[in-house]
Structure 1
């Protein structure tokens, strides 16, 4: 009895100490004079965020109430929600060395622990990968990929012609997703797919499932937010679940492979085929992103250094496959989303559409496409304004503090998280006035703005590496579409245009429009 009583007293003592520790953490923002919405003990603001239909809307609502810098608690972990442009410039650019890590769910951290891509890599590993991959996205390299993008857009225009002849309205967002996946397969992997006509294409299905998965709804992820000290145990449980499912998949046909790992295996196969080809240096050598990365790939162990002068100029083959997966999943969905938003705006704003078509009509369609679309000023303003009002991935603009530092008078402790409220920044009248930021006005981009006022691709050294590729693809598609067709709203356009978010992407459920052949 004495032993049981002692154990019970120890247990009660531990619980009291644990609860007291959690309670003390909830004074973090109060001690720093930073406003904070009402929260619940143990859950912090997590329950509110989990229950809201769109997290981005909830952040905007709190920003209107509590200002441009306020605090939230994920469980008991402090998270700064920031829409102050000076603060964001400090974090993402000027003090990048103290905020070089992106904040990710522990599941993604674990998956990419030994084989990270640019999205999840940190420190010297990220720096090496970024330096090695950057040259693949120069203007010269992108020009070489233009014909492949052109061919994919050809397929889209053929499908649009069918709808136009029938006079039918169409849901164009899904067509864009199939287009952008085709572009990724052709110009990134060098695979001649026809996803726009192959409705049951397995690559597209698996990519869709991967993007649609919402990590924030995973019970283990939610538990890790509430009790971060459980992460080692949760990691063990998660990895065993994955291993068991992958093992069962080999013997039971009804159990499907996890989409992410299915794609990784196929990408590794493509790499093996490419590296074993006897014509690697011959006249049929492909010029695509995969080949550019394989040119700097090695199977040897890579030792990372903080000294740039001795930093390795290579990627490991595993890093190639994981980065290719990131480019596939992130590249097709975000670009399709931008095209979907652009089409919605074109249908709503006929005067804007007319200005774009007038600009396009002044250029010779048969000249170099890449140079032409990049010299079109109004087209550039138009896409910038679309991305201001409808950023495709506002929730990935986060940073973890890697060492305690001071930002704009605020002491930020190591381990704290900074999350940019991108939509509040993009709709701030002080940053985007004097015209109402709620009005679509491409001309507002003729005026220089604060360096941190525009965040669709992030800012600073860790901004989106595929930005130039995405803009090239978007401009080429819209230019060819508007040369041949005009876009009008369908009866269902507003009713069906409903935004929803996953862990990373904010996208429309559908975009219904009518297209008419230009005379």
Structure 2
């Protein structure tokens, strides 16, 4: 027994010694590399727990519950500077809202940073491996597979939007009666997204829908919220055990499998047709789906089914794209209406611009040329960006251009494994170009402001949201059609301030309560 105790003690001592040795070597390496490139350390956040960093971790959850996490990050940057280091769950993180650092991480030195070690573990049980959680060749393949779906010609299919918008209109009272538009907007974008991505709408706005819509929407919402909590927990995600979360995953995957089954049928038909054409013409011929009017329609799931016959791959990829984007447009439209109903003069100005176009149908180009409409969308995304935060991990030793030293102007050495965190909400609030009223809804500022990397509602660089064009087009079209149809949109909310509800994204906790008059 004594011999075993001695062996155990020796092993512990050796492991501890190795840890100390590795720590000293790492610090020596950092000092040498920092000296070589003139790097300085950034200011340090005053962690109350400097060893594990649990104080910052716990405070994040506390502020999220209090609906104050976004402003908390603004206050942290105001207090500690645009770039500072902090200890979070035993890891040192560089927190930054400096546009020069963001441009370096997301664009200039894009390959130096990744997301897979951070995103894959907490999301794997739900959405598997896909474009938003992977790095390297897998990410490149996934991105290339998805990109053609979001070209201008595909996102400009406005007649398809109109079909669902008419169903949405029919559910909105027009006598000034109070209604919460938030759930209806979620259903509207749910329907347009499923048709655009999968070739068939879920039709949640229709009473004759074949799907159990309320159960499915609730499952999506709970699954996304649970995934967000697991992501926040990081290495402590094992603490989150929720049977309802796993049940929600099962419902969501069952929803996806309905479309995967149809995609597999399409794949068989496509391969048989291609084989026949190759025999007849001696060459391979690509195919696209035609809609009822004979127009070419690029369906994401069908395009992926041409490339792979793996059901798991198809399910994972469509869940990635769908879950990342199906809420974005609904929340942005809702946030725009939240502010417009509180500013009736802005609604009148928007309506005047829209009505000046006459009765001609909107096009992708005409929506882009409605300047005040575009200002409203930009201002909404400035106050409420789709991408709230982003966390990257250094895949190699690298350099951030600024934020170090007493003046915050020296470069910073970011060792391999270094975490780099950004808050895009804080970036927008603190950017000099949006002062002195960054938290006031003022679309007119966009007549002159040119923010560059101070404005990143969809992130930037190669990992910029691939569905950005779709989200902006949907948002512009729905707001324009609302302005055509509704003479007034009045605020019916008891709470005038926008209060955050954090899930995977931030939406209005109190909904979008309005009274519509035609």
TM-score category (smaller protein): 0.7 to 0.9
Structure 2: gaps of 5 or more residues: 32-38, 274-286, 402-410
CA contact (8 A) 1:136 1:292 kept: no
Q: CA deviation at 1:18?
A: 8.9
CA contact (8 A) 1:393 1:456 kept: yes
User: For 2:184, which of 171, 175, 179 is the aligned residue?
Assistant: 175
TM-score, length basis structure 2: 0.80
Partner residue in 1 for 2:404: none
CA–CA separation in structure 2 for the residues paired with 1:153 and 1:245: 33
CA contact (8 A) 2:179 2:514 kept: yes
Partner residue in 2 for 1:290: 300
Alignment partner of 1:37 is 2:46: yes
Change (3 A) 1:459 1:321: same
Q: CA RMSD in A?
A: 3.6
3-state DSSP of counterpart to 1:168: strand
Alignment partner of 1:458 is 2:459: yes
Change (3 A) 1:284 1:31: closer
Q: Cα deviation per residue 1:328-349 (whole Å; 9 max; x = unaligned)? A: 2222212111111111010111
TM-score, length basis structure 1: 0.80
Alignment partner of 1:96 is 2:110: yes
CA contact (8 A) 1:189 1:288 kept: no
CA–CA separation in structure 2 for the residues paired with 1:151 and 1:378: 25
Structure 1: gaps of 5 or more residues: 225-233, 250-254, 300-315
CA contact (8 A) 2:328 2:386 kept: yes
What pairs with 1:217-366 in structure 2 (closer than 5 Å)? 221-223=234-236, 258-276=250-268, 287-290=297-300, 293-294=303-304, 296-299=306-309, 318-366=312-360
CA–CA separation in structure 2 for the residues paired with 1:457 and 1:105: 18
Change (3 A) 1:89 1:103: farther
CA–CA separation in structure 2 for the residues paired with 1:431 and 1:291: 41
Q: CA deviation at 1:488?
A: 0.9
CA contact (8 A) 1:105 1:215 kept: no
Partner residue in 1 for 2:492: 490
Alignment partner of 1:400 is 2:393: yes
CA–CA separation in structure 2 for the residues paired with 1:327 and 1:110: 15
CA contact (8 A) 2:427 2:454 kept: yes
Alignment partner of 1:421 is 2:451: no
Q: Cα deviation per residue 1:307-337 (whole Å; 9 max; x = unaligned)? A: xxxxxxxxx7644432221222222212111
CA–CA separation in structure 2 for the residues paired with 1:107 and 1:263: 23
Partner residue in 2 for 1:52: 63
User: For 2:139, which of 112, 126, 141 is the aligned residue?
Assistant: 126
Change (3 A) 1:117 1:217: closer
CA–CA separation in structure 2 for the residues paired with 1:488 and 1:211: 31
| Aligned residues between the structures | 472
3-state DSSP of counterpart to 2:94: strand
Change (3 A) 1:11 1:450: same
Partner residue in 2 for 1:510: 510
CA–CA separation in structure 1 for the residues paired with 2:367 and 2:288: 32
3-state DSSP of counterpart to 1:120: coil
Alignment partner of 1:211 is 2:221: no
Q: Cα deviation per residue 1:56-111 (whole Å; 9 max; x = unaligned)? A: 33322211110000112222212111111111111111111212436634524645
Q: CA deviation at 1:474?
A: 0.6
CA contact (8 A) 1:347 1:488 kept: yes
Partner residue in 1 for 2:154: 141
3-state DSSP of counterpart to 1:475: helix
3-state DSSP of counterpart to 2:203: coil
What pairs with 1:364-443 in structure 2 (closer than 5 Å)? 364-395=358-389, 397-408=390-401, 409-433=411-435, 435-443=436-444
